[in-house]
Structure 1
Amino acid sequence: MKQPWPLARQLLVLQLVLVVLLVGGGMALAYADARRATDDNARELVVTVAETVADSPSLTDALAAPDPSSELQPFAERVRTDTGVDFITIMDPDGIRFTHPDPDRIGEPFIGNTEEALAGRTFTETYTGTLGPSMRAVVPVLDGDAAVVALVAVGITIEAITAELNERLLPLAAVAAGVLVIGVAGSYLVSARLRRQTRGVAPAELRDMFEYYQAILHSVREGLVLVGSDGRVVLCNDAALDLLGMPADVRGTPVAELGLAEDLAAAFTSPESREDELHLTDTRVLLVNSVPVRSRDRGMGNAVTLRDHTELQNLSGELDTVRGFAESLRSQAHESANRLHAVISLIELGRVDRAVALATAELETAQQLTDRVVGSVAEPVLAALLLGKLSEASERGVELMLTADTAMQDTGTDVDARDLITILGNLIDNAMDAAVEHAAARAPKVTVTVRTEPGELFVRVADTGPGVVERADIFRRGWSTKPAAETGRGLGLALVGQAVRRYGGSIDVDNGSAPDGGASDGGGAVFTVRLPISSSR
């Protein structure tokens, strides 16, 4: 199968054809103009010379002489030499020559037309005479009564006119050749540059590649954003528009005007590579990679890829909760084994009453806690979370309490179970961290309230920690009271804020006792979340 010509070669051939046609057309026009100008100049010259000779007083005097040729021949030759014409023929009205460049032709009839001149009119014509084809002018010589007494014919041969035309065409031909050479060289240079830019790909292949690339860009689930060196969006595929919550077309829009978070906008235009950075939008957790794109020594902008880690982050949160619950169960199993050994030893020592008391004491305490959680919170996922957090708090020496007004029925709220885990789990984890951190000042304690109210789900978590000072940035990714050396911090509260915004709810942060008296008695932080739910639930 014959391969199609590359785009660069097709353009080169097209340019060469156009250059040749333009130069050829220009030469044809220049030739026609030069021919017309040469003919006009020759015609004007012969008419001028003929009229000048006809008006000469010496011509009239010579015509009256017995031998006009003896006086007119030297006169005509002198004028012919001075003006550069090829012949000057003076003749009588019958056309008998008095002068001629060839003296042997004197006395012979004039070869050509004289009718209009005999009628008293000057005319020009191209005629073949004794000297060959020539352009000639015939002028009547009039006496005082306006009668034609002689005729004057002045001519320039076509060969002489052609020679003059050729002299004019030589510079034009040189210019045309130069233009042709420059045009061909320019076309070759353009073609060579285009060949480098298109890598020798044929137009049909370019079209197919563009269609394939467009299909790929709009079909992949990973978001792709190309940002120019001027900070404007060059390309944004469908997945990126969906992940960023952008309108249908943002090409040409500056990144600063996209309404993105400051750190995410900075990643889009970063002069350095960014790898696997977590960024939070109002509804999603995004994994962002940004790579600067350069062409030779010129920066072209950034290629940014976006991956949705919202589901993965939610699953990670659930996994952390399950892992914590499993660790609590493992710890309880270990403690139960120790207590079981103690009970067996007491029985062997005959202290049965003490063995029974030891065996039932912890069981009653654990059962009371379980009954308290299950009785107040019928939502199974939330109940499991709270039971796990109760065990974890016990291990860490934190008193985790549910307020008396905690009540949530298993009626299926509008809030997804994973989002409940994200919100309540992260708030309790932060509260326990703060309470433990401040344990030297007062006994660590965390108080939790969860209840459904008409039209909203109410969640409050309070602690006995040091409280919150920087409230403005508390829900920004990366904010944390933990030491800077601890990596992976500053994401929990950001996820809480994201989940609350997704449901159109609100979250308030205060220090000290909560308004309903169910928060930290020690003056720590109080987080209050309100999420709208259907009024029928």
Structure 2
Amino acid sequence: MRTSRWSLARQLLVLQLAILLVLVSGGITIAYLDARRTTTDRAGEQSLAVARSIADAPDVARAAASADPTATLQPYAQRVLADTRVDFVTIMSPRGIRYTHPNPALIGQRFLGHIEAAQQGGVVSETYTGSLGPSVRVVVPVFDANHRVVALVAVGITIAAISAEVQERVWPLLGVAAAVLLVGACGGWLVSARLKRQTRGIAPAELSNLFEYHEAVLHSVREGVLLVDRDGRVGLCNDGARMLLGLSGDPVGQSLADLGLSPELAAAFTAPENRTEELHLTDSRVLVVSTTLVSSGGRAQGTVVILRDHTELQTLTGELTTARSLAEALRSQAHEAANRLHTVVSLVELGRPEDAVEFATAELALAQELTDRVMTAVAEPVLAALLLGKAAEASERGVELTITPDTMIDDLGPGVAGRDLVTILGNLIDNGIDAVVRESVARPSVVVTARSEEDGLLLRVADNGPGVPEEAVGEMFRRGWSTKAGDEHGLGLALVVQAVRRYGGTIDVGRDGGAVFTVRLPRQEVSA
């Protein structure tokens, strides 16, 4: 049951909005502080320029030295206030007694602020709370012709005026910030909506758990799971697939053509239709391959490939076929034995015991001769059972199966499995029997040779059928090749060549009145 935790998309949207809000707020704060600093600096520069221009005016120095400086300087100061963007112009004596002021009631009183540096001929620049409130002000001296300080000029702009100007500049910034927030919120919402569709509204913890479960399941199953994208590249590959395909590294991102797969197997992985339970061969395994095309929103995404190892089952199937052949041979022999027994009884009843004895011993000697020869020549019981079973099967199908006198396998060696010999020899014998029966050859026969040599094993199966066309020799060991009709054939010879390659052997196809298959398996050295 899904919890009520926020989805990944919602958390990302909230995080984006929070980051955007912090950035915009920080930007607005920095812009406000910069605007305030710039406005304050400009107010100080403007006040200094106005103060210097007043102090440099010759009429100001003469008026300051007159008997009634206020009469001349107050109107002058009012004109300056009207012509400039300053809030006050105060002209005072060197001791700080006002000659002028925006409020005439304050004329004659002491100036509020620091004037010591100006009294010494310097400049005072400060922010101070005076009669008009806090202000940015500048105080400069007025010199006479002898460069003596005869008066002081104070010019300032109130903080209230500065703040009003700053606010005028901040409102457009707030508008821009609001627009940025709106655009950012819309963009974040669009990204969040897309992410929500892609993650199906799953919370991060659930998404993490799903990924961990996915990885655990993917790499714990024995079946191989492979995802191939539309371009024929591996998008996903679990441990089972790497093992079944014999891949050493991680193939994700690689093209199928770079993995060394057989053309038939690679074609199955990229087929435009679904494949179900197809048998394919690698150098060492028999694989069952199923593929399913995957699409999303009506668009093809790739192919999911499921691989299952059929090697052991195929081997057991071959051994079961051998056992069935032997059972069928025993059943047939039992049926023939019953017929022969009835014949012997009838001969005895007819008073011809000598003929009965001769008939019975002749049939038994023939059957025993074949059994004794196989059991003596072949020490491997599974291989011996195969030969006896195939001999009985061939006899039932009207084919003479002959085991050459030089057949002798007394020791398979530690590196050769009996089941592989059953796969090789059994399929070659079946192929020979089918060939002569299918073509209705007169006196059909299959000749089998199996013997140990100094450098390994020699297995040869020859028939007197039509043989293998020269143009088909190169393709006959490929999965699916067969001269028979139907879909149930075409794997036997491919299994033969797979087993031969596993031991580093060779297989040759020749003609000698029919097809001759010769397999040579080198002696296997097993390290201690």
Paired-residue identity, %: 59
Q: Give the C-alpha shift of residue 300 in structure 1.
A: 3.1
Report if aligned partners of 2:413, 2:524 keep a CA contact under 8 Å in 1.
Answer: no
Identify if the C-alpha distance between structure 1 residues 61 and 503 changes in structure 2 by more than 3 Å, giving closer, same or farther: same
Structure 2 distance, partners of 1:59, 1:272, is: 103
Q: Give the C-alpha shift of residue 431 in structure 1.
A: 1.1
Pair 1:490 & 2:490 matched: yes
Pair 1:476 & 2:478 matched: yes
Which residue of structure 2 lines up, in the alignment, with residue 506 of structure 1?
A: 506
Q: Give the C-alpha shift of residue 115 in structure 1.
A: 1.6
Report if aligned partners of 2:322, 2:385 keep a CA contact under 8 Å in 1.
Answer: no
Report if aligned partners of 1:380, 1:410 keep a CA contact under 8 Å in 2.
Answer: no
Pair 1:34 & 2:35 matched: yes
Report if aligned partners of 1:466, 1:525 keep a CA contact under 8 Å in 2.
Answer: no
Consecutive unaligned residues in structure 2, runs of 5 or more: none
Over residues 422-443 of structure 1, what are the superposed CA-to-partner deviations in whole Å (9 max), with x where a residue is unaligned? 1100000111122233444x53
Tell me which moved more, 350-359 or 418-427: 350-359
Report if aligned partners of 1:505, 1:532 keep a CA contact under 8 Å in 2.
Answer: no
Q: Give the C-alpha shift of residue 181 in structure 1.
A: 3.2
Report if aligned partners of 1:47, 1:154 keep a CA contact under 8 Å in 2.
Answer: yes
Structure 2 distance, partners of 1:175, 1:140, is: 45
Report if aligned partners of 1:91, 1:99 keep a CA contact under 8 Å in 2.
Answer: yes
Paired amino acid for 1:77: Q
Paired amino acid for 2:475: D
Q: Give the C-alpha shift of residue 242 in structure 1.
A: 1.6
Structure 1 distance, partners of 2:100, 2:232, is: 90
Pair 1:25 & 2:16 matched: no
- The residue matched to 1:159 in structure 2 has which SS? helix
- The residue matched to 1:177 in structure 2 has which SS? helix
Q: Give the C-alpha shift of residue 52 in structure 1.
A: 1.4
Identify if the C-alpha distance between structure 1 residues 159 and 411 changes in structure 2 by more than 3 Å, giving closer, same or farther: closer
- The residue matched to 1:294 in structure 2 has which SS? strand
Which residue of structure 2 lines up, in the alignment, with residue 81 of structure 1?
A: 82
Which residue of structure 2 lines up, in the alignment, with residue 163 of structure 1?
A: 164
- The residue matched to 1:386 in structure 2 has which SS? helix
Which residue of structure 2 lines up, in the alignment, with residue 530 of structure 1?
A: 521
Report if aligned partners of 1:376, 1:406 keep a CA contact under 8 Å in 2.
Answer: yes
Pair 1:466 & 2:466 matched: yes
Pair 1:447 & 2:438 matched: no
Over residues 455-476 of structure 1, what are the superposed CA-to-partner deviations in whole Å (9 max), with x where a residue is unaligned? 4121111111222222222211
Q: Give the C-alpha shift of residue 349 in structure 1.
A: 4.1
Pair 1:437 & 2:438 matched: yes
- The residue matched to 1:509 in structure 2 has which SS? strand
Report if aligned partners of 1:509, 1:528 keep a CA contact under 8 Å in 2.
Answer: no
Which residue of structure 2 lines up, in the alignment, with residue 516 of structure 1?
A: none
Report if aligned partners of 2:428, 2:517 keep a CA contact under 8 Å in 1.
Answer: no
Identify if the C-alpha distance between structure 1 residues 524 and 109 changes in structure 2 by more than 3 Å, giving closer, same or farther: closer
Report if aligned partners of 1:373, 1:386 keep a CA contact under 8 Å in 2.
Answer: yes
Report if aligned partners of 2:136, 2:157 keep a CA contact under 8 Å in 1.
Answer: yes
Paired amino acid for 1:165: V
TM-score, normalization by structure 1 = 0.90
Identify if the C-alpha distance between structure 1 residues 66 and 34 changes in structure 2 by more than 3 Å, giving closer, same or farther: same
Structure 1 distance, partners of 2:314, 2:349, is: 52
Q: Give the C-alpha shift of residue 347 in structure 1.
A: 4.1
Which residue of structure 1 lines up, in the alignment, with residue 270 of structure 2?
A: 269
Alignment RMSD (CA, Å): 2.6
- The residue matched to 2:127 in structure 1 has which SS? strand
Paired amino acid for 1:463: D
Tell me which moved more, 385-394 or 268-277: 268-277
Identify if the C-alpha distance between structure 1 residues 431 and 220 changes in structure 2 by more than 3 Å, giving closer, same or farther: same
TM-score, normalization by structure 2 = 0.91
Identify if the C-alpha distance between structure 1 residues 411 and 156 changes in structure 2 by more than 3 Å, giving closer, same or farther: closer
Paired amino acid for 2:291: S
Aligned residues: 524
Identify if the C-alpha distance between structure 1 residues 395 and 56 changes in structure 2 by more than 3 Å, giving closer, same or farther: same
Over residues 129-186 of structure 1, what are the superposed CA-to-partner deviations in whole Å (9 max), with x where a residue is unaligned? 2222211111111122111122221111111011011111111222222333334444
Q: Give the C-alpha shift of residue 18 in structure 1.
A: 2.5
Report if aligned partners of 2:325, 2:393 keep a CA contact under 8 Å in 1.
Answer: yes
Structure 1 distance, partners of 2:526, 2:21, is: 82
Q: Give the C-alpha shift of residue 82 in structure 1.
A: 2.1
Tell me which moved more, 402-411 or 447-456: 402-411
Pair 1:213 & 2:214 matched: yes
- The residue matched to 2:80 in structure 1 has which SS? helix
Which residue of structure 2 lines up, in the alignment, with residue 327 of structure 1?
A: 328
Structure 1 distance, partners of 2:71, 2:362, is: 164
Structure 2 distance, partners of 1:322, 1:102, is: 127
Q: Give the C-alpha shift of residue 368 in structure 1.
A: 2.3
Which residue of structure 2 lines up, in the alignment, with residue 374 of structure 1?
A: 375
Structure 2 distance, partners of 1:110, 1:418, is: 119
Report if aligned partners of 1:465, 1:525 keep a CA contact under 8 Å in 2.
Answer: no
Q: Give the C-alpha shift of residue 200 in structure 1.
A: 4.1
Paired amino acid for 1:247: S
Structure 2 distance, partners of 1:429, 1:493, is: 10
Paired amino acid for 1:496: V
Consecutive unaligned residues in structure 1, runs of 5 or more: 513-521
Structure 2 distance, partners of 1:119, 1:65, is: 22
Identify if the C-alpha distance between structure 1 residues 439 and 38 changes in structure 2 by more than 3 Å, giving closer, same or farther: same
Q: Give the C-alpha shift of residue 280 in structure 1.
A: 0.5
Pair 1:59 & 2:60 matched: yes
**1:187-266 equivalence runs, <5 A:** 187-266=188-267
Q: Give the C-alpha shift of residue 288 in structure 1.
A: 1.1
Q: Give the C-alpha shift of residue 477 in structure 1.
A: 0.6
Which residue of structure 2 lines up, in the alignment, with residue 519 of structure 1?
A: none
- The residue matched to 1:124 in structure 2 has which SS? strand
Tell me which moved more, 284-293 or 353-362: 353-362
Structure 2 distance, partners of 1:18, 1:438, is: 84
Q: Give the C-alpha shift of residue 24 in structure 1.
A: 2.3
Identify if the C-alpha distance between structure 1 residues 56 and 411 changes in structure 2 by more than 3 Å, giving closer, same or farther: closer
